């Protein structure tokens, strides 16, 4: 792996060549990214974006949760957003959050300022950018219920403010203008003068610790919940708790989690995802939809079934 300061067009960020993505995903899995760029800030990012070829594959990285990078890596440019971490109050009940801010930080920031509505973010182990991209939710709350407007960046580096109504929002799905990515969002919250938001966050974190395999290498929920049911219930009903492919294992504590028990490959995880989905489809007739974003190049995961 080679690291170098990016100097074209006087960019201030850092560019790494052939950067192992296993260093940047919560599963601890992933082959090398051809280019890995961490901008110094939003202005640096706009300049960098404008310098890329128009057909360059771009992959956005937050905390590396909800992401499986295949073993042969990514033939393109990964942009790490953790340096886009500004968060501040913009009105009586409005907060502007950059997409690199971790969701739990959003929840705690708002609660500390007597604002409520974002408590569910405490249960989402990713950044606001990822939450915006998939309308992430937890404990009955969903990201886009709070969004008033977003800032996006286009391939040419131009920034634009867009209203929430310009996007089509569904369960774990967001459709909007093509070739634009989120860089910030304006969230509309409510007053919390009695301090219940902080209490609710503590309760949600307690429930999360009781029901999810904390302290293990997992990416969060693997499958979306089907209408009127739960993916975890269906997986457990198929007897798949503890199911294993290599060092990738379905959690005994929560069946919708897959754990890297040590040294698992992306192929093993993807193969286990395919196996679980097939078994549930046979047993219950329900086709589970994968919530995890799978990127990069690899062999056919079916080869390890």
Active site residue 221: yes
One of 12, 172, 208, 293 is an active-site residue; which one?
172
- Give how far Cα 125 sits from Cα of 1, 57, 204, 220, 229, Å: 28, 25, 13, 7, 23
Q: Is 172 one of the annotated active-site residues of the chain?
A: yes
Greatest extent of the chain over all pairs of C-alpha atoms, in Å: 58
183 sits in which H/E element: strand 180-188
Catalytic residue, chosen from 217, 275, 291, 298, is 291
DSSP state of 179: T
Among the options 116, 118, 221, 298, which is catalytic?
221
Q: Are 251 and 211 within 8 A, CB to CB?
A: no
Catalytic residue list: 172, 221, 291
């Amino acid at each position: 792996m080679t690291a170098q300061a990016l100097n074209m067009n006087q960019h201030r960020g850092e560019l790494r060549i052939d950067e192992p993505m296993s260093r940047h995903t919560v599963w601890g899995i992933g082959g090398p990214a051809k280019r890995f760029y961490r901008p110094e800030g939003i202005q640096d990012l706009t300049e960098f974006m404008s310098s890329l070829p128009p057909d360059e594959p771009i992959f956005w990285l937050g905390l590396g949760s909800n992401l499986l990078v295949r073993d042969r890596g990514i033939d393109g440019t990964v942009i790490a957003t953790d340096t886009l971490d500004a968060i501040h109050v913009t009105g009586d009940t409005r907060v502007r959050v950059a997409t690199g801010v971790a969701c739990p930080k959003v929840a705690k920031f708002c609660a500390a300022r007597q604002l409520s509505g974002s408590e569910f973010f405490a249960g989402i182990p990713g950044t606001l950018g990822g939450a915006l991209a998939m309308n992430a939710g937890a404990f009955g709350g969903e990201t886009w219920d709070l969004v008033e407007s977003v800032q996006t960046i286009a391939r040419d580096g131009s920034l634009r403010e867009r209203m929430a109504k310009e996007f089509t929002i569904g369960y774990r799905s967001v459709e909007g203008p093509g070739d634009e990515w989120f860089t910030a969002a304006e969230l509309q919250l409510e007053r919390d003068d009695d301090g219940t938001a902080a209490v609710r966050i503590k309760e949600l974190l307690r429930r999360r610790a009781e029901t999810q395999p904390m302290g293990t290498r997992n990416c969060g929920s693997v499958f979306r919940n089907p209408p009127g049911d739960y993916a975890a219930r269906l997986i457990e009903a198929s007897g798949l708790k503890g199911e294993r492919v290599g060092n990738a294992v379905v959690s005994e504590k929560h069946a919708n989690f897959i754990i890297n028990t040590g040294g698992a490959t992306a192929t093993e995880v993807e193969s286990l995802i395919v196996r679980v989905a097939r078994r549930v489809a046979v047993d219950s007739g329900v086709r589970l939809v994968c919530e995890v974003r799978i990127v990069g190049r690899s062999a056919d995961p079916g080869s390890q079934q």
